[in-house]
Amino acid sequence: MGRNISIKVARAQLDITQKQLAEKVGISRQTMNAIEQGEYNPTIKLCRAICKILGKSLDELFGEDDSNEATKK
């Protein structure tokens, strides 16, 4: 799984730290970091919660495009 850069960018736009975003979503910073690093694949429920906080769509944050690194096999 590749790193999720879109979340990091969206977070930077809103000037929110990883810890603050994690707290708003209701997860640990450890999990938020794992999602950004592409080490953990979140459930759709958690994806939607992150999208809601960052004001982005699922496709913008979790869709496959150039901003997100390609999936490594």
Chain contacts with another protein (rule: CB under 8 A): 26-28, 30-31, 34, 40, 42-43, 46
Instruction: Tell me the backbone φ, ψ of residue 45, rounded to 5 degrees.
Output: -65, -45
- Least distance to another protein, CB of residue 28, Å: 5
Nearer to another protein, 5 or 46 (CB): 46
Distances (CA, A) of 9 to 61, 69, 73: 9, 13, 25
Query: How far is 58 from 19, CA to CA, in rounded Å?
Result: 21
- Least distance to another protein, CB of residue 66, Å: 26
Nearer to another protein, 2 or 65 (CB): 2
